[in-house]
Structure 1
Amino acid sequence: MDHKTPAMASPLPPQAADAGGNLFSWYGETSPREKRAFWSCKVGYMLDGMDTQMLSFVIPTLVATWGISLADAGFIGTLTLLASALGGWVAGILSDRIGRVRTLQLTVLWFAIFTGLCGLAQSYEQLLAARALMGFGFGGEWTAGAVLIGEVIRAKDRGKAVGLVQSGWALGWGLTAILYSVLFSLMPAELAWRALFLVGLLPALLVVVIRRYVKEPDVYEKEKAAQGKASDRPSLTEIFSPKLLSTTVRAALLATGAQGGYYAITTWLPTYLKTERHLTVMGTGGYLAMIIFGSWIGYLVSSYLTDRLGRKPNFILFAVGSMTVAISYTMLPLTNGAMFWLGFPLGFFASGIFSGMGAFLTELFPTRVRGSGQGFCYNFGRAVGALFPFLIGALSKQYGLGASIGIFAAAAYGVLIIAALTLPETRGRELEAAGM
């Protein structure tokens, strides 16, 4: 196909109407090659989530042992997210140039090594640098894995497969909570936090499996062969060309809404509930477990609905649910018991909205720049979303923390809904083997 032709995927096929199916039945119809790709991506994202969530568990220990401020600790998190945004974009470009599988190997190895180095840090500055570099890798791993699994799985089951990969994040988060509990019960806190980060080296072993058993998707191999014959490699700026600019901008806004809303809700709600509502339940392991469980169920349900209802209706449904949760948290009089049970819908909606993101972005961009487009849009949203906690803190001085959370959450999910309404529905699209 001439790369100047605007078609990115075939028209919506008739079988899209039957794209629901059972959440897991599709797995039995996949080939061994597809199964290996699925599990490599899912385990990779689970371990990615495990390594990423470690910082939130050890912040109190770092404050106590190193004497750093909460602002210093927060800056580590912000810089990690900003670095992950850059890493995701770079990994997207690399996945178009050197392959999805090779990029996945590099990013998994990268974030594992720098997570381990966090455990060896001797100062705040060393931890800041190691954590930022770890973020560069974890952002890249999502991009490479999402493109790989999106291209391997057939169109009618793509949403379920990519969403189930995304659910690995909640499993990794839960694994971190378990590791934290075990290590901090067996060791002094000043050693346990280092041991927790050193456990983060284990994902490096996954690279051996990926290298041996996972192959590039056929659609990518055909695209590279076509590029080689025509001496027509994609440019770094092709996603901003007149043919793709509108899609890139709207997809980036969609990702910004999802991630901005997520960070607006999850970053400041515990502080708001503790300092202004004087509730204590969110500091308990039970409340955290309820949120993690809700997140996992949200990923699963959204994985099914994104194929059953379509990409756009699913995004809108979960955006409305997330806004409702944010308003409930900030406007309703809540007891500790009510707060405990609200942890489930908080995790369910705020996390579940991401299940459809990978499949949707895969289907929006042509094969020749799919990694670049997916990497840029998702991680542009992450970079902008990383600023929301800071902006909420600044606005809270004038309007109060609860109102500020509500304003930013409503604005973020409103942007997502508008972007979703303007983008095309892609459920069931077959990916083209050659470019645009």
Structure 2
Amino acid sequence: MSTTPQPQRTAQDPQTPPAAESAQAPQNGQPADDTGAFAWLRALGPRGRRAFAGAFGGYALDSYDYFTLPLSMVAISAYFSLNSGQTGLFTTVTLVVSAIGGALAGVLADRVGRVKALMITVITYAVFTVLCGFAPNYETLLLFRALQGLGFGGEWAVGAILVAEYSTAKHRGRTLGGIQSAWAVGWGLAVIVYTLVFQFLDEDMAWRVMFFTGALPALLVIYVRRNVSDAPEAAEARRQSRDKGSFSAIFKPGLLRTTLFAGLLSTGVQGGYYTLSTWIPTYLKTERGLSVVGTGGYLAVLISGAFIGYLAGGYLTDVLGRKKNIALFAFLSALCILAFANIPEGSNTTLLVVSFPLGFCMSAIFSGFGSFLSELYPTAVRGTGQGFTYNAGRGVGALFPTLVGFLAESWGVGGALVFGALAYGIAVLALFGLPETRGKELL
């Protein structure tokens, strides 16, 4: 029987055990030869599956609350008489503040535990999403949206670590890819609600109702509190460490290189992604002349590609390795952006066809992120390291949507979207400074 090569002790990862459990060994009662399509889910065991459900739900609703703004952008812009630069600033402040929130949530996860931190982040983004619906002016809406970013920034990192610590090395890419697919589920739900709300309500009220529906995550907190707990081994290792939740620890010589290049990787991937997710709805409505229903139909194709891309990317990150998976889909995502933005007017059928591979590629690249960042850091600072690098990248990457917003004034949204392709080039360069971590067991 083949076994996964054991990780070596390094200065970068002092807590890696000398004889990590084989990825083929029985886990949580699962037969050693279980190779079925859902072997990754069975390998989690009962407690791990409850953690998966909590993290999946949290990330889906995180996505839902995020997309209430881009989907309502045209209506909000008209209501407050905003220009493209001002509307792009909504996304930028959300992502910049989310960098702060995500870094703080990572520290919190290392100090008080993954589950408690998860509940705090979910409550935070839900409350401020609802408050956005009450905003009387542009400045207040901008403030509430920024504060929503505090919770939005932390949820993914905390949920991903929670599930990663239940997962075996053999299945971690697929398991975290499953968590990533929740983003497409939440995005799809937001599009459905958007289509219904904007069909039956006046636009001046519809965008407010969209934000009011952001209260849904409160129901998830009840489930998490009653059913989800931290992985026992990881929780014990964290309790015994003196460096838990320390920002200074991730900038010490053994981890400094990892932190810098992981942050750069996150900047590239998220700069490209948020450029597209922010401006595609506006592009479809203003430059392609699609109705609310038409825009929803195109987004449905894009989101279908995204959902399949998350799952496929999770599988490929286990087969190809973390770095090869990210490099492959960074290249393909850049090509898809260029193709999507340069389809001639009147060729909306071609636009529809290209939407599927665009959604597939820009999502598949994310599937390896949860496992890769979790594996780069030791248990005591895993939350801090993952929370900081992922969200620092999100904050810097937030400059791309704003740049597109200002360039759209003279270039048009479609022409400005090509800057998203440059972001994926940054991601590929960052990979040269990071190690491959496939097959690494977590303490």
1:65 maps to amino acid: Y
Query: Deviations 1:54-77 (Å, cap 9, x if unpaired)?
Result: 011222222333333343322222
Paired residues of 1:367 and 1:431 also in contact (CA < 8 A): yes
3-state secondary structure, aligned to 1:64? helix
The DSSP-based 3-state class of the residue aligned with 2:254 is coil
- Structure 1 residues 8 and 59: CA distance shift in structure 2, 3 A: same
Equivalent pairs, count:
425
- Structure 2 unaligned runs (5+)? 1-8, 25-31
- The letter for the 1-side match of 2:52 is F
Moved more, 375-384 or 58-67: 58-67
Does residue 378 of structure 2 align to residue 366 of structure 1?
Answer: yes
Task: Give the match for residue 385 of structure 1.
Answer: 397
Of 8, 13, 16, which residue of structure 2 is paired with 1:9?
Answer: 16
Deviates more, 1:394-403 or 1:250-259: 394-403
2-structure distance, mates of 1:19, 1:412? 41
Aligned-partner Cα distance in 1 for 2:99–2:140: 21
Residue 93 of structure 1 aligns with an amino acid whose one-letter code is V
Contact 2:89 2:402 in 1 (8 A): no
User: In structure 1, how many angstroms separate the alpha carbons of the residues matched to 2:243 and 2:413?
Assistant: 52
Once residues 195 and 404 of structure 1 are traced to their aligned partners in structure 2, the CA distance between those partners, rounded to angstroms, is 30
> Out of 339, 350, 363, which is 2:362 matched to?
350
C-alpha contact 1:281 1:339 (8 A) present in aligned 2: no
TM-score (norm 2): 0.87
The answer as to whether partners of 1:10 and 1:429 remain within 8 angstroms in 2 is no
Q: CA deviation at 1:341?
A: 0.4
Q: Is 1:184 paired with 2:182?
A: no
Note closer, same or farther for the CA distance 1:401–1:174 as it changes in structure 2 (3 Å cut).
closer
Report SS of the residue matched to 1:424: coil
- Asked if 1:28 is matched to 2:39, the reply is no
Question: What is the 5 A alignment of 1:50-65?
Answer: 50-65=64-79
Match of 2:331 among 317, 320, 324: 320
1:48 aligns with 2:59: no
8 A contact 1:23–1:160 mirrored in 2: no
CA-atom RMSD, angstroms? 3.0
Q: Deviations over 1:37-90 (max 9, x none)?
A: 000000110011011100112222223333333433222221111111111111
For residues 403 and 64 of structure 1, what CA distance do their matches in structure 2 show? 22
Whether the 8 Å contact between 1:104 and 1:145 is mirrored in structure 2 is yes
Q: Distance in 1 between matches of 2:133 and 2:409?
A: 36
SS of the residue 2:366 aligns to: coil
- Whether 1:251 aligns to 2:262 is yes
- Which of 64-73 and 173-182 deviates more? 64-73
Q: Do residues 168 (structure 1) and 179 (structure 2) align?
A: no
| 1:137-156 to 2 correspondences below 5 Å | 137-156=151-170
* Alpha-carbon shift at residue 273 of structure 1 (Å): 7.7
Aligned equivalents of 1:314 and 1:404: distance in 2?
27
Question: For 1:3 and 1:118, how far apart are their aligned partners in 2?
Answer: 47
Q: Which moved more, 1:258-267 or 1:118-127?
A: 258-267
* 1:155 counterpart SS class: coil
Structure 2 residue identity aligned to 1:174:
G
> Equivalents in 2 of 1:317, 1:187: separation in Å?
43
1:131 and 2:145 aligned: yes
1:198 matched to 2:208: no
Amino acid of the structure 1 residue aligned with 2:107 = I
User: Counterpart of 1:329?
Assistant: 340
Map of 1:254-273 to 2, 5 A cutoff?
Answer: 254-267=265-278
Q: TM-score, length-normalised on structure 1?
A: 0.88
1:300 aligns with 2:281: no
Q: 1:54 to 1:347 in 2, by over 3 A?
A: same
Q: Is residue 255 of structure 2 the alignment partner of residue 241 of structure 1?
A: no
Larger deviation, residues 310-319 vs 388-397: 388-397
User: Percentage identity across aligned positions?
Assistant: 46
1:340 matches 2:352:
yes
Distance 2:279 2:216 in 1: 31
Query: Larger deviation: 290-299 or 120-129?
Result: 120-129
Contact 2:285 2:295 in 1 (8 A): no
Question: Structure 1 residues 53-62 or 294-303, which shifts more?
Answer: 53-62
Higher mean displacement: 280-289 or 49-58 = 280-289
Q: What is the one-letter code of the residue matched to 1:322? A: S
> C-alpha separation between the residues in 2 aligned to 1:110 and 1:26?
31
Structure 2: how far apart are the matches of 1:329 and 1:188? 31
What is the CA distance between 1:420 and its match in structure 2? 2.1
Q: 3-state DSSP class of the match of 1:222? A: helix
Tell me if structure 2 keeps the 8 A contact 1:302–1:356: yes
